[in-house]
């Protein structure tokens, strides 16, 4: 146990920094007896599914585990560097010997509450320019660190990794998290609302080196103060912090501030405290990012088109320690990956996620509507309703880019208030009028655990007719009882005018929900209602004119079985009625999820359903007639551990489908050749048999090849074929990160109609950006 690290709720006086620390442990009292439900789950899962222990997995020594939820939160200290630090992966500067050592980590999994099976030493230094972390991650001789990829923003769950998260204001409103694998690939995330909203598109500038050796691996990173928003006027810096060590071959996750596996390290209400960062200054916090590009459209539709040369500028300025201004002029997103093809077998619209960097950064500030939660069944998500979906700006419904003239955003915190202001303007494009999009979002916390807020969204044409669409609403969330209880609500309205000046009536949408999720119990109830003509012009709604009830009940037993980490038997129900109260859709599901110690997982489910169709619709040329339809369907899903050189997933579902039958089979295969080459193959097959119609299919096939010459020189090739539309999509990308947050892109994108053997779109783009920091 390290004398420089203290665990306990109070923040100690600096004079106590050398006092030894200790862990407290209290028994966790369940709300209801769990023995009966655990026994039921035990009978459901066949014992033949488990045969042998995973590689490198060893049973811990005889020791009682701590209670992860009730254990005191730890405290650590940073030290000012007394000599320069060279970031080279060797912690050999004299200053590192002055830094207190953080070396106590407790497992989230597989042996919850036990000390980490391998030693980790973390040291934190700082000077006037940078925050430094030096980490020694020891491992058993003979075991090499698992490095799945070198790509930027990788999925670090598939390999060894070290993660750290900072909350400079100690309020959970703005958290910066970093996950690094032994090859030096990094994933940086900005989160808000105590980790419930996260933005993986946020990119920080940093200097990073990793080194793999026969004793494990070493990480050394320097982060400029300008990348971490904090209040320099405070007499004492008190930051929230948590640290994570992942040992993939053991499927082991261990954290410094103890966490149950249902929580991520950026859930700052359960974090530890970092002290000692006194006398730091954020700098001017001004950066410019100009770009220049040349694009050549070609193909059948662009015959005779000439090469275009363009330029633009992004500006970022820290107005206050918590507030940032972003400006963009002549915005371009030509380097963004293309959308993946989807097959729609329903009568409702598909949701396509935002991928453009400017809109993804600080996107959580503007979020209003239904949200998903990590490792929880939520019934609905932003794919069902969000009042503001930035994809409606500068993109047609089919995903074709529209020219953006300029835009600006102010976002961050001002005291207890989280603020988001956005305005974007698009240019005229053919018959499409130029438009202006304005969003204003406020949230505050009037009491501990209670957040309330409001939003206003306006979409209007800036020339021609007076078409206006306005959306606005209020929301409130309450989190209590050790963050296990979450009550959420919103009320929103839309109104406006049509292009000919006619008024559009005000329509409403609302929700109230209550959820309980602790390490064992999971209970959720939701009621939502949407008027017939509720239409957020800059948002997304999947179903209107409905009253929707949802409920789920499940448990998460963790029986001591070989290879098994956790079970989750559950039931859930959806009930959709029209506004008159007549049943439209009913879905009753019973399922069983299983997570295994090697990182693989399995899902089984059976659904009894009902659908009422009032208006006919077509699927792949087959017509579904009005009527009432009862059906039963089953589904199965299995995913191999991503730590294997060859991994993949397989999902199968099928059953009744509007008086006929449906079978869907999908899967993917991922192969790694070292950590510099990834090959992914995917296929999804859908077969539909409807009365009085021939059998129809809707298939999508894809392949993706990534080659990483280093963490700064990246290439990818993505191809996809949609059998339903007979379209073949190709996207080739070359990326050179020539300096922090500065890139050179070469991109080829083509969309081809294979049936007519005709190129629909083809663009070759060369784009260069350079970050200028002041």
Question: How does pLDDT run across 526-579, given as a tens digit for each residue?
Answer: 999 999 999 999 999 999 999 999 999 999 999 988 889 999 999 999 999 999
φ/ψ bin of 40: left (φ > 0), alpha (ψ from -120 to 50), beta (otherwise) = alpha
How far is residue 222's CA from residue 8's CA, in Å, rounded to a whole number?
A: 29
> Which residue(s) pair with 606 in the sheet?
590, 634
pLDDT confidence of residue 193: 82
pLDDT confidence of residue 673: 82
How far is residue 652's CA from residue 619's CA, in Å, rounded to a whole number?
A: 20
Reported pTM: 0.82
Phi, psi of 374 (to 5 degrees): -60, 125
Element holding 123 (H helix, E strand): strand 120-126
Do the beta carbons of residue 101 and residue 243 sit within 8 Å? no
Q: Which residues of 167-200 are buried (b: 16+ CB within 10 A; e: fewer)?
A: bbbbbbbbbbbbbbbbbbbbbbbbbbbbbbbbbe
pLDDT confidence of residue 340: 62
The pair of structure tokens assigned to 274 is 């970092």
What number of residues does the chain have?
A: 774
The pair of structure tokens assigned to 100 is 């207190």
User: Tokens 């009491």 belong to which residue?
Assistant: 447
**Contacts by 445-452, CB closer than 8 A, 24 or more apart:** 445/171, 445/416, 446/416, 449/478, 449/479, 449/480, 450/476, 450/477, 450/478, 451/193, 451/476, 451/477, 451/478, 452/476
Out of 29-33, 222-226, 510-514, 699-703, the most confident range is: 510-514
pLDDT (tens digit per residue) in 73-88: 999 999 999 999 999 9
- Strand, coil or helix: what is 29? coil
Average confidence score pLDDT of the chain: 85
Q: Is the peptide bond before 110 cis (omega within 30 degrees of 0)?
A: yes
State yes or no: pLDDT of 6 exceeds 70. Answer: no
The pLDDT-based confidence of 125 (bands split at 50, 70, 90) is very high
The pLDDT-based confidence of 33 (bands split at 50, 70, 90) is very low
Pick from 1-15, 162-176, 259-273: least confident: 1-15
Return the number of other C-beta atoms located less than 10 Å from residue 686's C-beta.
23
How far is residue 765's CA from residue 307's CA, in Å, rounded to a whole number?
A: 10
How far is residue 93's CA from residue 96's CA, in Å, rounded to a whole number?
A: 6
Do the beta carbons of residue 205 and residue 741 sit within 8 Å? yes
Out of 286-290, 485-489, 563-567, the most confident range is: 485-489
Distances 112 to 6, 63, 125, 219, 402 between C-alpha atoms, Å: 21, 12, 30, 26, 51
The pLDDT-based confidence of 339 (bands split at 50, 70, 90) is low
State yes or no: pLDDT of 246 exceeds 90. Answer: yes
pLDDT confidence of residue 341: 59
The pLDDT-based confidence of 253 (bands split at 50, 70, 90) is very high
pLDDT confidence of residue 641: 86
The pair of structure tokens assigned to 260 is 């149950």
The pLDDT-based confidence of 302 (bands split at 50, 70, 90) is very low
pLDDT confidence of residue 50: 31
Among residues of the chain, what percentage have pLDDT more than 70? 87
The pLDDT-based confidence of 333 (bands split at 50, 70, 90) is low
pLDDT (tens digit per residue) in 348-371: 676 777 777 778 777 888 999 998
Do the beta carbons of residue 118 and residue 140 sit within 8 Å? yes
How far is residue 396's CA from residue 402's CA, in Å, rounded to a whole number?
A: 7
Do the beta carbons of residue 251 and residue 113 sit within 8 Å? no
Pick from 278-282, 616-620, 746-750: least confident: 616-620
Phi, psi of 166 (to 5 degrees): -125, 140
């Amino acid at each position: 146990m390290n004398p420089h690290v203290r665990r306990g709720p109070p923040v100690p006086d600096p004079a106590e920094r050398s006092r030894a620390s200790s862990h407290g442990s209290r028994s966790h009292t369940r709300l209801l007896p769990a023995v009966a439900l655990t026994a039921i789950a035990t009978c459901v899962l066949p014992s033949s599914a488990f045969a042998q222990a995973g590689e490198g997995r060893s049973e811990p020594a005889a020791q009682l585990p701590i209670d992860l939820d009730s254990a005191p939160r730890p405290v650590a200290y940073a030290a000012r560097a007394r000599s320069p630090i060279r970031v080279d992966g060797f912690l050999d500067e004299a200053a590192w010997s002055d830094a207190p050592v953080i070396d106590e980590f407790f497992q989230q999994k597989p042996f919850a509450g036990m000390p980490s099976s391998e030693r980790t030493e973390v040291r934190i230094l700082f000077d006037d320019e940078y925050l430094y972390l030096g980490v020694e991650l020891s491992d058993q001789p003979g075991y090499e660190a698992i490095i799945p990829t070198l790509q930027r923003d990788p999925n670090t769950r598939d390999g060894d990794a070290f993660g750290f998260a900072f909350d400079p204001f100690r309020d959970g409103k703005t958290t910066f998290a970093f996950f690094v694998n032994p090859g030096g690939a990094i994933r940086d995330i900005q989160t808000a609302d105590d980790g419930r909203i996260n933005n993986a598109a946020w990119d920080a500038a940093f200097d990073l080196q990793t080194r793999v050796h026969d004793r494990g691996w070493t990480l050394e990173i320097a982060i400029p103060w300008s990348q971490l928003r904090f209040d320099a006027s405070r007499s004492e810096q008190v930051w929230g912090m948590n640290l994570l060590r992942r040992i993939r071959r053991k499927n082991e996750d261990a954290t410094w501030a103890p966490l149950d596996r249902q929580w991520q390290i950026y859930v700052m209400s359960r974090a530890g405290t970092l002290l000692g960062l006194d006398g730091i200054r954020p700098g001017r916090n001004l950066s410019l990012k100009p770009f220049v590009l040349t694009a050549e459209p070609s193909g059948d539709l662009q015959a005779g088109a000439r090469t275009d040369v363009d330029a633009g500028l992004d500006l970022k300025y820290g107005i206050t320690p918590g507030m940032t201004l972003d400006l963009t002029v002549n915005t371009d997103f030509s380097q963004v990956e293309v959308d993946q093809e989807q097959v729609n077998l329903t009568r409702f619209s598909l949701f396509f996620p935002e991928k453009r960097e400017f809109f993804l950064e600080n996107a959580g500030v503007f979020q209003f509507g239904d949200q998903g939660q990590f490792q929880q069944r939520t019934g609905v998500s932003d794919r069902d309703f969000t009042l503001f979906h930035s994809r409606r700006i500068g993109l047609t419904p089919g995903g074709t880019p529209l020219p953006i003239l300029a835009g600006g955003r102010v976002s961050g915190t001002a005291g207890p208030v989280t603020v988001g202001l956005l305005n974007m303007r698009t240019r005229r494009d053919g018959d499409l009028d130029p438009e202006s999009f304005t969003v204003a979002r406020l949230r505050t916390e009037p009491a501990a655990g209670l957040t309330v807020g409001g939003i206003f969204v306006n979409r209007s044409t800036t020339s021609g007719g007076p078409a206006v669409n306005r959306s606005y609403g209020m929301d409130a969330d309450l989190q209590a009882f050790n963050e296990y209880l979450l009550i959420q609500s919103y009320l929103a309205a839309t109104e406006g005018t049509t292009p000919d000046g006619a008024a559009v009536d005000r329509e409403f949408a609302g929700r109230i929900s209550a959820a309980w999720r602790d390490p064992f119990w999971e209970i959720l109830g939701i009621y939502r209602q949407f008027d017939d003509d509720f239409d957020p012009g800059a948002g997304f709604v999947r179903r209107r004119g409905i009253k929707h009830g949802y409920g789920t009940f499940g448990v998460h037993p963790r029986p001591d079985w070989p290879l098994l980490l956790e079970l989750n038997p559950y039931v859930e129900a959806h009930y959709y009625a029209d506004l008159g109260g007549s049943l439209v859709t009913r879905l009753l599901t019973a399922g069983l999820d299983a997570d295994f110690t090697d990182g693989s997982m399995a899902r089984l489910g059976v659904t009894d359903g009902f659908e009422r169709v009032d208006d006919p619709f077509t699927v792949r040329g087959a017509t579904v007639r009005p009527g009432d339809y009862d059906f039963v369907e089953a589904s199965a899903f299995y995913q191999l551990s991503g730590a294997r050189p060859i991994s993949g997933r397989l999902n199968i579902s099928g059953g009744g489908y509007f008086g006929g039958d449906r079978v869907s089979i999908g899967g993917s295969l991922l192969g790694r050749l070292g950590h510099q080459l990834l090959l992914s193959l995917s296929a999804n097959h859908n077969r539909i048999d409807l009365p009085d119609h021939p059998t129809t299919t809707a298939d999508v096939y894809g392949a993706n090849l990534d080659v990483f010459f280093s963490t700064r020189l990246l290439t990818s090739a993505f191809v996809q074929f949609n059998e339903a539309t007979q379209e073949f999509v190709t996207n080739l990308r070359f990326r050179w990160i020539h300096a922090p947050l500065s890139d050179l892109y070469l991109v080829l994108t083509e969309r081809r109609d294979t049936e007519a053997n005709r190129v629909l779109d083809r663009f070759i783009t060369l784009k260069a950006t350079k970050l200028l920091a002041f």
